[in-house]
Amino acid sequence: MLSLPDGVFPSFDDAQAFQAGNDLYSFKIDTFVFSTDRPAGLKPRDVGWKAVTAVASDLAAKGATPYLFLSSLSLPGDTDLKVALEIERGMKDAANVYGGYLIGGDTGEARDGVVAVSAVGKHKSRIFVPRKAQLSEGDVVAVSGNFGYAPLGLDAMLGKVEIEPKSLKNKAIRAFSHPVARIELGSKLPELGAKASMDSSDGLAETLTELSRENSVEFVLDRLPADKALLAFLNRKGLSPEHYLLYGGEEYEIIAIFSSQSNLLGTGFKPIGKVASGRTGVFLGRNKIREDGYQHFKKRLSRWDSGIFASEESLYASPPCSFRKAYSPQPTANCHASRRSL
């Protein structure tokens, strides 16, 4: 069994929770790699912005507000200094917008451009919202915003689609290049009674499927979250709305599960479906949504699942009941049942 320092609790979630005195914090690290994450035309300043946003979004999905950021920036040796300074400027811009501080980091030389950002966020409510919880039939599946613009913007930047009018094109490209993490809505998750939540950056279908699998429930959606202007454009062009809404990714929204008794009117969260009694799976009406979206090391997952990562359960102790009772939105539920239930 792997031992952990006092106050640090294993979660295997979008962020790692730890206790300091009477306060609850989470920390997170994420990496932006130029060769896989930066399409041609993405400005260095936007690279810095997106690198910080990815970390901030994961913290927000756990109910934490970003506080401190650190970065590690590695670039090829022939990179213009202006590029590095613009990336740093983008990181500082994002940290300031999210109410935090970029306090330092490291620079280095590498064959590929790599921006790694770590962050600490504070849970003002002293509640960590996990991805796994005790969900019930009739619980509400809700999202913090619409989907589809970011992947459409990426396709526009790659020259795969022509977007008209120009205002729609600019909106799509900005959605990809300058996404905004839902910090304020994330901080409201505990008070709104959220049972479980995740950041949606891997795509709507992928994130919903992961939540379904983690909680051994079915989700039945009655609508997909998109605005009329986007749907009108996609239909006019003969493009698949499902492709852009379900399988895009790079959208830093929050997907959360709320009690059936929660009143979400006017909160900023939009209901899109409910929890059903089936085993697992995501359905749009009666049609099952295939699992697809961004997965790191996708070709190697089957090998890893049968190897070291299959034994995670035996490596880590379940979070102690004292932590669960103090910081979980469901403190009395199944205290030692899962390593992912805090």
Q: What is the CATH number of domain 16-122?
A: 3.30.1330.10
Alpha-carbon distances, residue 207 vs 66, 156, 188, 202, 254 (angstroms): 22, 24, 20, 6, 10
The ranges assigned to domains in the chain are: 16-122, 140-295
The amino acid at 102: L
pLDDT band of 8, cuts 50, 70, 90: confident
Is there a contact between 258 and 142 (Cβ–Cβ < 8 Å)? yes
Q: pLDDT digits over 111-166, tens only? A: 999 999 999 999 999 999 999 999 999 999 999 999 999 999 999 999 999 999 99
Q: How far is it, in rounded angstroms, from Cα 231 to Cα 243? A: 12
Sorting pLDDT into bands at 50, 70 and 90, what band is 342? very low
Instruction: Return contacts of 307-312, CB within 8 angstroms, 24+ apart.
Output: 312/12, 312/339
CA angle, residues 90, 51, 305, in degrees to nearest 5: 175
Beta pairing partners, 141 = 257, 273
3-state SS string for 60-82: HHCCCEEEEEEEEEEECCCCCHH
Q: What is the pLDDT of residues 238-278, one digit of tens each?
A: 999 999 999 998 999 999 999 999 999 999 999 999 999 87
- Around Cβ 78, how many Cβ atoms within 10 Å? 6
Contact between residue 136 and residue 274 where contact means Cβ atoms under 8 Å apart: no
Mean pLDDT for the chain overall: 86
3-class SS of residue 83:
helix
The DSSP secondary structure of 90-128, one letter per residue, reads HHHHHHHHTT-EEEEEEEEE-SS-EEEEEEEEE-TTS--
Considering the domain 140-295 in this protein, what is its CATH number?
A: 3.90.650.10
* Structure confidence by residue, pLDDT tens digits, 14-67: 899 999 889 999 999 999 999 999 999 999 999 999 999 999 999 999 999 999
Q: How many CB atoms lie within 10 A of CB 298?
A: 9
